[in-house]
Amino acid sequence: MKSVLTVQETSDLIRSGKKIFVAGDESLLAALPSGEWIGGTIPYFMSEDGGLFTRDRVQVTVLPDFVTNAEIKLYSVGELDRIPADYKPNGFAYVVIPAFSEAHQKFSHECSTWPGVFNRPLTGWIAGIDLKDLGKVSPKVFNGQTGESSASKAAVMHVDLPAEKFAKVNIINLFHQGSGDTITFPSAGFEATDCFINGQKRNFAEYVETMKVNIQQPLVADYMGAMVNASFQAVDAKAGKVAFYAPVFPGMEYKIADPVGDYEKKFDEELKAKDVSPVFTCNCILNYLYANLEGKKTGHIVGPMTFGEIAYMLLNQTLVYLTFENK
Amino acid sequence: MVPTKSDPKWTKFLANLGKFPVSDLSVKMMMNRIKMKILFDPSEASKQQAIGDAYDFFIKNQATVKEDIKLIFG
């Protein structure tokens, strides 16, 4: 089944009782009937025909019929740390958070400290908007069960699976730590002024300018073998500040990523090596933009191109995928 | 098999974080969280809490990360 559908086709799926994830323009999500669906705004997708920008259709992930138990909740900023307590016994949680919201900030700074957060797979993405509408429109999330939408709350679908199945979240990150300087930060944040370069204190904006860092290549930290990116948003040399799309954390050692080269080709190679058949995937709007993915395919992978990907924590420039496995 | 919380294997686990070539993303993320927790608070109480968190994680995921459990605890 194709993943990019009209409102009518999606409405038919919802009315048939399917449990679905939906991504698309706010006006389209608002037009969907009540049912077992969770949604977030974004107009950028990887479709079966390649990278696609559309505000006329939505992208749909249909959960298999063996998924019988799915509960959707909206969490305010103060309630976010309760997400793990609501995990289903044998399930996973799918979360969508509006970009630029306090929930986005809080989740990305604190989620790894929440008790039990790693105990079940947690995946999802950060809802976004047409880049032309930045500053004019707020990204939103939708609870299809109640019809409620929000620009400030996180929407979570808690899904349970039959006893013989389990969910797994994984990532494909084509970026690896380069061989350059080791960079650390004294505090956590989406913004940095001071940093330590190989242990020596320095202004990070000045470092980025002096070293002529290509800011399309993220900072990469090694999380016990998982490469985790923090992508550059902007460098303000005058103010001495660097902004990121995900927070950097003290204690983690970052390096500027090596260039990827041909993203499409490298992605295809990685995909073939991993032999992935995901239920759901999302990838980063920055990969879409920097690798010029409009009209280009990333193997057989389809899904929204988002303002941040979630695999237990907020990621950047990374493909996140969910699979169902047999025990 | 996940050792009981009082087993000395947990001390070795904490001392060797980062040296286990684990494969599951959730295990990597959980272990990184423990590493950070102990880095900023190396007290005995913090270590015991970290062991408790890791124990709960492995018990709840025995069936899904069994290869990594075997790798870590033998």
ipTM attached to this prediction: 0.96
Number of domains in chain A: 2
- Per cent of chain A over pLDDT 70 is 100
223-242 of A, contacting B, C-beta below 8 A: 223-226
* Bridge partners, A27 (sequence order): none
* A69 and A103 share one domain: yes
Place of tokens 């032999």: A275
B37-A126-A82-A36 Cα dihedral, nearest 10 degrees: -150
- The owner of tokens 């992930």 is A61
Residues A144 and A106 in one domain: yes
Among A170, A224, A312, the residue with its CB nearest the CB of B22 is A224
DSSP state of A258: P
Decide the pairing of beta strands A319-326 and A303-306.
unpaired
In a mutagenesis test of the B interface, which of A118, A184, A187, A248 is the best target, namely the one with the most B β-carbons within 10 Å? A118
Out of B28, B60, B61, name the one closest to residue A225 (CB). B28
**In terms of domains, do A155 and A36 share one?**
yes
* A176 assigned to some structural domain: no
What's the token pair of residue A283? 């990838």
As a whole number of angstroms, the distance between CA B71 and CA B27 comes to 12
A216 lies in a domain? yes
Q: β-strand A20-24 against A314-315: which pairing, if any?
A: unpaired
In this predicted structure, the answer to whether residue A264 has a pLDDT above a threshold of 90 is no
Whether A170 and B64 lie within 8 Å, measured CB to CB: no
Q: Is the pLDDT of residue A261 over 90?
A: no
Average pLDDT of chain A to the nearest whole number: 96
Q: What is the structure's pLDDT at A273? A: 87
Determine, for residues B60 and A120 on separate chains, whether the beta-carbon distance falls below 8 Å.
yes
A17 shares its domain with A132: yes
Per-residue pLDDT, A272: 84
| Pick from A112-116, A122-126, A251-255, A261-265: least confident | A261-265
Picking from A256, A287, A310, the residue at the C-terminal end of a domain is A256
Residues in B closer than 8 angstroms to A112, CB to CB, are 29, 32-33, 36
User: What is the per-residue pLDDT for A47?
Assistant: 96
Report whether A321 contacts A280 (CB < 8 A): yes
**CB atoms A251 and B17 under 8 Å:** no
Cβ of B31 within 8 Å of Cβ of A119? The answer is no
Q: Are residues A201 and A89 in the same domain?
A: no
- Nearest Cα residue to A47 out of A296, A309, A320, A321: A296
Q: Is residue A177 part of a domain?
A: no
Residues A210 and A65 in one domain: no
Residues of A in contact with B67 (CB under 8 A): none
A41 pLDDT above the threshold of 90? yes
Averages of pLDDT over runs of 10 residues in chain B (74 residues) are 95 94 97 97 96 97 95 95
pLDDT at A68: 86
Residues A163 and A237 in one domain: no
In whole angstroms, how far apart are CA A105 and each of A77, A173, B63? 9, 22, 33
Confidence check: pLDDT of A314 > 90 = yes
pLDDT of residue A263: 85
- pLDDT tier for residue A267 given thresholds of 50, 70 and 90: confident
In a domain, A178, yes or no: no
Please check the confidence at residue A24 and state whether its pLDDT lies above 90: yes
- Half-sphere exposure of A208 toward its Cβ, with a 13 Å CA cutoff? 28
Residue of A nearest to B20 (CA): A224
Q: Is residue A305 part of a domain?
A: yes
Question: Is A158 among the domain residues?
Answer: yes
- CB-based contact B21 A327, cutoff 8 Å: no
| pLDDT recorded at residue A274 | 84
The answer to whether the CB atoms of A223 and B32 lie below 8 A apart is yes
Token pair in block for residue B24: 């599951």
Which residues of B fall below an 8 Å CB-CB distance to A? 17-18, 20-22, 24-33, 35-36, 39-40, 53, 56-57, 60-61, 63-64
Kindly identify which residue of chain A lies nearest to residue B29, measuring between CA atoms. A223
- What pLDDT score does A300 carry? 86
Confidence of residue A197 (pLDDT cuts 50, 70, 90): very high
**Which of A112, A171, A225 is opposite residue B33, by nearest beta carbon?**
A112
pLDDT surpassing 90 at residue A250: yes
Give how far A294 is from chain B: nearest CA, Å: 29
Dihedral over alpha carbons A250, A255, A261, A262 (to 10 degrees): -20
Nearest CA in chain B to A122: B26
- Nearest Cα of chain A lies from the Cα of B7 at a distance, in angstroms, of 21
Instruction: Chain A: give the shortest CA distance to residue B8, in Å.
Output: 22
For chain A, positions 50-109, list CB contacts with chain B under 8 A: none
Of A256, A275, A298, the one marking the end of a domain is A256
A268-287: average pLDDT: 90
- pLDDT tens for B17-32 read 989 999 999 999 999 9
CA distance A224 to chain B (A): 5
Distance CA(A299)–CA(A287), nearest Å, equals 14
- Same-domain check for residues A89 and A226: no
Both A87 and A225 in one domain: the answer is no
Burial (CB < 10 A; 0-12, 13-18, 19+), residue A259, is: exposed
Contact residues on chain A for B20, CB-CB shorter than 8 A: 224
A196 in the same domain as A57 = no
Domain membership of residue A286 (yes or no) is: yes
The verdict on A143 and A269 lying in the same domain is: yes
What is the pLDDT, as a whole number, of residue A276? Answer: 85
Q: What is the pTM of this model?
A: 0.97
A221 DSSP β-pair partners: A228, A254
Q: Which residues contact A175 (CB under 8 A, 6 or more apart)?
A: A217, A218, A220, A227, A229, A257, A258, A260, A317, A318
Chain A nearest-CA distance from B36, in A, is 7
- Same domain (yes/no): A235, A296: no
Contacts with B49 from chain A: Cβ below 8 Å: none
Q: Is residue A236 part of a domain?
A: yes
DSSP-assigned letter for residue A151? S
The residue-averaged pLDDT of A249-270 equals 92
Give me the domain span that covers residue A60: 4-171+265-326
Last residue of a domain, one of A212, A238, A256: A256
